[in-house]
């Protein structure tokens, strides 16, 4: 076998493989035998017709086509083995250059390669903001809102009142020939914000509730509003909308006083200050998590920028497929379908795939860099931590899912293996990000004695061998 390796710019290679002519002749004999088993040839039992008879019955071209297919299945894995190439996935027969002698051209996608830059030199400022008292009070006021006493009233709507309404809005730009519904909702709850209240997050636009001030049950109102071009909801961006609102009811709201008694009604808080303290702790934990997500992303982007990353086009197509599947699932949750989504975006599937290329490319590069970093930093997972996280996850599932569904979900060894594998992967990624975060802050990681990853994999096998009922019991023990 003669092999010529021709590198390509897209991280694939072309293998030009020449084999002995006799191999093709042998494959033609096998092909004729296979054809005779599946083709009725008068005077012969299936698979018993001589080569010459089969050749006359189906023609030389049919035998050659079948022979090439047989030969390729034999030749390709041997060519990979002899060339020492590590493929990303299945290769493809690009061309039959010759049959005398047999010469085949294969396109082989290569395993992704990452050449990390000097990631240990990256430094980014690490500054976590303090939680202001105003944010604590906002949460406290939100708890008051939840315990407000709601009573229907026969009066004009005032600041703080709760209105029940139905509303619609249409794109009102006749000069462009457009007129379509962008909002259609019934049984909408609207609290009229005071003039000095922050209405920046009010839906559908800031200041909307003030438009309804002074209206009574049964009243209707219409007005226009021009959405800015940078509004978050894409379907609203730059739209001049005609709103119509009908008031179905006006209700007064009486909020509880903020005191120790109120704190005790919220939960296990003896005093108002203990409630405030818990709110602050929760906000600080949430703020830290959000900050770390942003910080880690910035660090990873810096590393990607200074690294050389190569991967084959098949990997990009696979990631685009994954993104489209994720989009499809999100649309289903909103009771929409892909065709309607594409029509609303005025594009076809090819256009969507092209649009997603940038996102898919970024995701691939970050993932490849992360896993290479995990190897470079020798990140390991303690099997005790893996066991605790697995039992915690199973406990969460057992609480939110019916027992029958839970048992069915983890009935097979493959499903249990997938669960543990996913947990291990998530933990590996998180530990890697933690180490990168410390490095970017100028903190050298401390040497620690950890059990080997092999021990974690042994635990994975142990979990796979257990019955679902044992896993449920362990989850119950872990969660009390």
Terminal C-alpha separation, the chain? 65
b/e code 232-259 from CB counts within 10 Å (16+ = b):
eeeebeebbbbbebbbeebbbeeebebe
| Nearest CA-CA partner of 239 in 182, 318, 315 | 182
Q: How confident is the model at residue 177 (pLDDT cuts 50, 70, 90)?
A: low
Q: How confident is the model at residue 236 (pLDDT cuts 50, 70, 90)?
A: confident
Cβ atoms within 10 Å, residue 162: 20
* Span of 232-236, 287-291, 433-437, 452-456 with lowest mean pLDDT: 452-456
Q: Cα torsion for 149, 153, 157, 159, to the nearest 10°? A: -30
Q: Is residue 457 within 8 Å of 417, Cβ to Cβ?
A: no
> d(Cα 5, Cα 14) in Å, to the nearest integer?
6
Tokens of 322: 């994954």
DSSP 51-65: HHHHHHHH-HHHHHH
Using the predicted structure, report yes or no on whether residue 74 has a pLDDT greater than 50. yes
Positive or negative, the CA dihedral 241, 246, 249, 250 is: positive
Q: How confident is the model at residue 158 (pLDDT cuts 50, 70, 90)?
A: very high
Continuous segment of H or E residues that includes residue 186 = strand 181-191
**Predicted structure pTM score:** 0.74
Q: Express each pLDDT in 103-134 by its tens digit.
A: 999 999 999 999 999 999 999 999 999 999 99
**Conformation bin of residue 11: beta by default, left when phi > 0, alpha when psi is -120 to 50:** left
Q: Is residue 401 within 8 Å of 409, Cβ to Cβ?
A: yes
> d(Cα 424, Cα 90) in Å, to the nearest integer?
27
Tokens of 68: 């090439």
Q: Taking residues 237-256, what's their average pLDDT?
A: 93
b/e code 408-438 from CB counts within 10 Å (16+ = b):
eebeeeeebeebbeebbeebbbebbbebbbe
What number does CATH give the domain 2-111?
A: 3.30.70.1050
Q: CA 69, 73, 79: angle at the middle one, nearest 5?
A: 125
Q: Express each pLDDT in 100-111 by its tens digit.
A: 899 999 999 999
> d(Cα 281, Cα 290) in Å, to the nearest integer?
14
> d(Cα 462, Cα 431) in Å, to the nearest integer?
23
| Nearest CA-CA partner of 236 in 244, 249, 227 | 227
- The fold adopted by the segment(s) 149-254 is Chitinase A; domain 3 (3.10.50)
In the prediction, which pLDDT does 446 show?
Answer: 62
Using the predicted structure, report yes or no on whether residue 174 has a pLDDT greater than 70. no
Q: Express each pLDDT in 271-322 by its tens digit.
A: 999 999 999 999 999 999 999 999 999 999 999 999 999 999 999 999 999 9
> d(Cα 173, Cα 178) in Å, to the nearest integer?
6
Q: Taking residues 321-343, what's their average pLDDT?
A: 90
Q: Cα torsion for 214, 217, 220, 224, to the nearest 10°? A: 50
Positive or negative, the CA dihedral 316, 318, 320, 323 is: negative
The answer to whether 2-111 and 149-254 have equal CATH topology is no
Q: How confident is the model at residue 440 (pLDDT cuts 50, 70, 90)?
A: very high
> d(Cα 312, Cα 88) in Å, to the nearest integer?
8
Residue written as tokens 């010759």? 98
Q: Where are the alpha helices (DSSP H) in 237-348?
A: 260-266, 272-305, 313-333, 338-345
Residue written as tokens 């296979």? 34
b/e code 370-395 from CB counts within 10 Å (16+ = b):
bbbbbeebebbbbbeebbebbbebbb
| Nearest CA-CA partner of 15 in 90, 101, 71, 85 | 85
In the prediction, which pLDDT does 176 show?
Answer: 54
Domain ranges of the chain: 2-111, 149-254
The per-residue pLDDT of the chain, averaged, comes to 88
> d(Cα 212, Cα 245) in Å, to the nearest integer?
8
């Amino acid at each position: 076998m003669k092999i010529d390796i021709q590198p390509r710019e897209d991280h694939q290679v072309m293998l030009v493989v020449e084999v002995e002519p006799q191999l093709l002749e042998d494959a033609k004999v096998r092909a004729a035998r296979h054809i005779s088993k599946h083709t009725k040839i008068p005077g012969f039992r299936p698979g018993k017709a001589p080569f010459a008879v089969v050749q006359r019955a189906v023609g030389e071209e049919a035998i050659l086509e079948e022979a090439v297919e047989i030969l390729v299945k034999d030749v390709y894995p041997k060519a990979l083995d002899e060339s020492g190439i590590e493929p990303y996935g299945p290769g493809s027969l690009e061309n039959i250059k010759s049959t005398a002698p047999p010469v085949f051209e294969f396109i082989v996608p290569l395993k992704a390669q990452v050449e990390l830059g000097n990631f240990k030199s990256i430094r980014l400022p690490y500054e976590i903001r303090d939680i202001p008292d105003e944010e604590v009070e906002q949460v406290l006021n939100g708890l008051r809102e939840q315990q407000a006493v709601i009573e229907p009233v026969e009066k004009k709507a005032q600041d703080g009142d709760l209105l029940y309404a139905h509303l619609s809005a249409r794109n009102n730009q006749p000069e462009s020939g457009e007129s379509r519904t962008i909002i259609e909702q019934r049984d909408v709850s609207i609290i009229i914000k005071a003039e000095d209240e922050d209405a920046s997050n009010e839906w559908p636009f800031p200041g909307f509730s003030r438009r309804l001030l002074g209206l009574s049950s049964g009243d209707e109102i219409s007005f226009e509003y021009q959405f800015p071009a940078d509004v978050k909801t894409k379907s609203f961006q730059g739209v001049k909308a005609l709103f119509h609102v009908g008031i179905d009811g006006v209700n007064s709201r009486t909020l509880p006083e903020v005191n120790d008694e109120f704190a005790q009604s919220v939960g296990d808080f003896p005093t108002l200050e203990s409630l405030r303290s818990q709110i602050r702790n929760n906000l600080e934990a949430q703020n830290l998590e959000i900050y770390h997500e942003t910080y880690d992303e910035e660090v990873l982007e810096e590393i990607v920028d200074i690294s050389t990353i190569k991967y084959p086009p098949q990997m990009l197509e696979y990631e685009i497929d994954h993104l489209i599947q994720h989009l499809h699932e999100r649309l289903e949750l909103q009771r929409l379908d892909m065709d309607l989504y594409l029509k609303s975006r005025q594009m076809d599937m090819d256009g969507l795939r092209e649009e997603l290329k940038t996102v898919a490319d970024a995701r691939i590069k970050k993932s490849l860099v992360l896993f290479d970093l995990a190897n470079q930093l020798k990140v390991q997972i303690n099997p005790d931590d893996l066991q605790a996280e697995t039992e915690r996850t199973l406990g969460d599932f057992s609480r939110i899912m019916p027992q029958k569904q839970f048992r069915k979900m983890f009935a097979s060894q493959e499903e249990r293996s997938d669960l543990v594998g996913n947990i291990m992967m998530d933990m590996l990624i998180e530990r890697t990000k933690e180490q990168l975060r410390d490095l970017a802050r100028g903190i050298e990681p401390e040497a620690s004695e950890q059990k080997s990853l092999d021990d974690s994999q042994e635990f994975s096998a142990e979990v796979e061998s257990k019955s679902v009922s044992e896993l449920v019991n362990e989850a119950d023990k872990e969660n009390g």
